[in-house]
Amino acid sequence: MLKGIIFDMDGTLGDTLTLCIEAYRTTVCELTGRTPTAEEVVSYFGLSDRGVLGGLLNMNPDAPELPIDTFVRIYCERHDELAPTPFPGATELLKTLKMRGLKLALLTGKEYYTAEPTLKKYGMDGVFDLLLYGDPYYNAKADNLKRAMDAWQLRPEDIIYVGDAPSDIELCHSVGVPIINAAWSSHATADEAACLALAPEYRLNNFAELAPLLNTLTT
């Protein structure tokens, strides 16, 4: 029986990938006059907010002059337009799981700069026991997954990860954690073949299917 559930954010709790991509594109355009392609932005995904922005601007992510404040401003300004609400039932599901005493963590490539505004907008702030953010220099999700297990003192089979990307499946399999492949976002079809080839333990096409599955796995 599962004791802990770890959630990705973008494409899993909300359809926020377009927001992320367009916020980076708008930021770079505002600062340089050049608008990067969506493909260029996505090529840096796996890194955190500062890592992606630094890559797009050819700057050190730790440089004091990195315009992270500009990016966060644009991200927040466009949130209502591009990702106004979470997937239907997502906030309620998280609160129900918490009330049942399950351990909950957010494991995302984002940093607090953008994760916290989205959590607040979606009414999810204060729900998670652990907030595990990305790193500007490498994809830290595997390390953070291990940190969650250590913090909770749980075995890989005692937890499950809910995430949308092929890389999420790979990282879970690398540490023996089962995964629910979230295939309910507007971007899911682009990764369908890659996700299926990696054989996730579960793949759901509709967010409404998640609550019944988690109920089965946690009782």
On whether the CB atoms of residues 184 and 206 are closer than 8 A, the answer is yes
Between CA 196 and CA 218 the distance in angstroms is 25
Would strands 159-163 and 179-182 be described as parallel, antiparallel, or unpaired? parallel
Percent of the chain with pLDDT over 70: 100
pLDDT score at 36: 98
In our burial notation (b when 16+ CB lie closer than 10 A, e otherwise), range 97-116 reads: bbeeebbbbbbbbbbebbbe
Give residue limits of the domains in the chain. 4-15+86-217, 17-82
Largest CA distance in the chain: 54
Between CA 14 and CA 157 the distance in angstroms is 26
- The Cα angle at residue 32 between residues 26 and 38, in degrees rounded to 5: 40
pLDDT score at 141: 93
Residues 162-189: tens digit of each pLDDT: 999 999 999 999 999 999 999 999 988 8
Q: What is the mean pLDDT of residues 87-112?
A: 97
Coil, strand or helix at 36? coil
What is the model's pTM? 0.95
pLDDT score at 144: 95
pLDDT score at 14: 97
pLDDT score at 219: 86
Torsion of CA 90, 96, 98, 103, to 10 degrees: -70
DSSP lists the bridge partners of residue 161 as 6, 179
Q: Which CATH architecture has domain 4-15+86-217?
A: 3-Layer(aba) Sandwich (3.40)
